[in-house]
Amino acid sequence: MNRPRHRLFRDPRGADIGAHGSVACIGAFDGLHLGHRALVGRAVARARALGCASVALSFEPLPREYFARGEPPPRLSPPRDKAEGLLALGVDRVGLLRFDARMAALSAQDFIADVLIAGLRVREVWVGPEFRFGHGRSGDLALLQAAGAAHGFGAHAIEAAVVAGARVSSSGIRELLAAGDLDAAALRLGRRYAHAGRVVRGRQLGRTLGFPTANLRFGRQRPALGGIFATRVHGAGLDAWPSVSSLGTRPTVAGGEPLLEAHLFDFDGDLYGRRIEVEFVAKLRDELRFEDLDALTAQMHRDAAQAREILARTTVGRLQPRDGVMA
């Protein structure tokens, strides 16, 4: 089956499914953890067996972000990373449906009729355990199966992915990241946690202190972790470049919005405007407020030395092949 030129859609009416219909999997897909990967893999395999398109269907903003309004919950992956990751897993099309007042009010029955049947012409739908959808979260697997029996499509749920005796979930991974347990989070993600973005100019304070940084902003999204970390940088011609990074609001210098500042060891180059990915290897400490810049600089030297030591004894590479970073 030839893959379409335009593989991302926001409206199911523009999905361009083709004559043979589709196999769709539905989820938030925040972080693309092991459970998400299993779900996507099942849908891709079934679509290939049936000779039709595979579709990963999600929402932007995420429903929990929409209902949180002014205080968004932490997020593992921004929309671009989610879409790129889903495409890298082999799906033919990724739908990031607009979650707005209209979508929030859409009944489960209308979601099936308008999105799954009329828009995607589904032959099979795959969801995760305990999946709910529609206004008031009234829809579930049983409703999907009943609609499928009436309209000629199958509906199935995969088993939960389990690590250390517990179901893998995005909320659980957020808790692990917030607690600084990066290794446990990596086991559930199938790779080390990372954040990607385009390098922006900052106040250049790090350069004056001897620690120039590549800075990534989060926009309206709230990071899932914070503090000082041993990290590696990928993208823009870099391959697992060792670094030490700060993620926070920079209380010593009266910062504001969350900012990820990565200091690349022994690097002399210009990354402004380039897209990079910062991979979090180990947490060194929480963000602190220092009395003056001299105290801050002394701690930065200690952090850098500790990060170098950790990275020197930590194996380079992920638990699963990287999905790649667009330069």
Is 90 exceeded by the pLDDT of residue 246?
Answer: yes
User: Percent of the chain beyond pLDDT 90?
Assistant: 75
Coil, strand or helix: which one is 111?
Answer: helix
Q: Which residues lie closer than 8 Å to 38 by C-beta, 6 or more apart? A: 158, 161
Q: Which residues lie closer than 8 Å to 84 by C-beta, 6 or more apart? A: 323, 324, 326
User: What is the CATH code for 192-312?
Assistant: 2.40.30.30
Handedness of CA 165, 170, 173, 174 (dihedral sign): negative
What pLDDT sits at residue 319?
44
Residues forming CATH 3.40.50.620 domain(s) in the chain: 8-160
* Lookup: tokens for 187: 């086991």
Is-contact 109 147, C-beta < 8 A? yes
Amino acid at 298: A
Per-residue pLDDT of 105-115, as tens digits, reads: 999 999 999 99
Per-residue pLDDT of 73-93, as tens digits, reads: 899 999 999 999 999 999 999
Is 60 exceeded by the pLDDT of residue 131?
Answer: yes
Q: Which residues lie closer than 8 Å to 37 by C-beta, 6 or more apart? A: 89, 190, 320
Is 70 exceeded by the pLDDT of residue 160?
Answer: yes
Tokens 């082999």, residue? 90
Is 60 exceeded by the pLDDT of residue 325?
Answer: no
Q: Which residues lie closer than 8 Å to 45 by C-beta, 6 or more apart? A: none
Is 60 exceeded by the pLDDT of residue 1?
Answer: no
Is-contact 198 275, C-beta < 8 A? yes
Edge-to-edge strands, sheet with 22-26: 8-9, 93-98, 53-60, 22-26, 122-127, 154-157
- SS3 per-residue string spanning 153-173: CEEEECCCCEECCEECCHHHH
What pLDDT sits at residue 322?
37
* Lookup: tokens for 136: 């008031």
Q: Mean of the pLDDT values across residues 126-152?
A: 96
Say which residue, 210 or 134, is predicted with more confidence: 134
What pLDDT sits at residue 292?
78
Q: Mean of the pLDDT values across residues 242-268?
A: 84
* Lookup: tokens for 92: 């033919």
The model's pTM is: 0.88
Per-residue pLDDT of 20-76, as tens digits, reads: 999 999 999 999 999 999 999 999 999 999 999 999 999 999 999 999 877 778 999
Is 60 exceeded by the pLDDT of residue 324?
Answer: no
Is 70 exceeded by the pLDDT of residue 321?
Answer: no
Is-contact 71 26, C-beta < 8 A? no
Residues forming CATH 2.40.30.30 domain(s) in the chain: 192-312
What pLDDT sits at residue 323?
37
What pLDDT sits at residue 320?
41
User: What is the CATH code for 8-160?
Assistant: 3.40.50.620
The count of residues in the chain is 327
Is 80 exceeded by the pLDDT of residue 310?
Answer: yes
Q: Mean of the pLDDT values across residues 95-111?
A: 96
User: Percent of the chain beyond pLDDT 70?
Assistant: 90
Instruction: Measure the CA–CA gap between 89 and 105, rounded to whole angstroms.
Output: 31
Is-contact 124 154, C-beta < 8 A? yes
What pLDDT sits at residue 293?
83
Instruction: Measure the CA–CA gap between 86 and 103, rounded to whole angstroms.
Output: 22
Is 90 exceeded by the pLDDT of residue 229?
Answer: yes
Tell me the pLDDT of the chain averaged across its residues: 90
Is-contact 185 314, C-beta < 8 A? no
Is-contact 29 82, C-beta < 8 A? yes
pLDDT tier for residue 326 given thresholds of 50, 70 and 90: very low
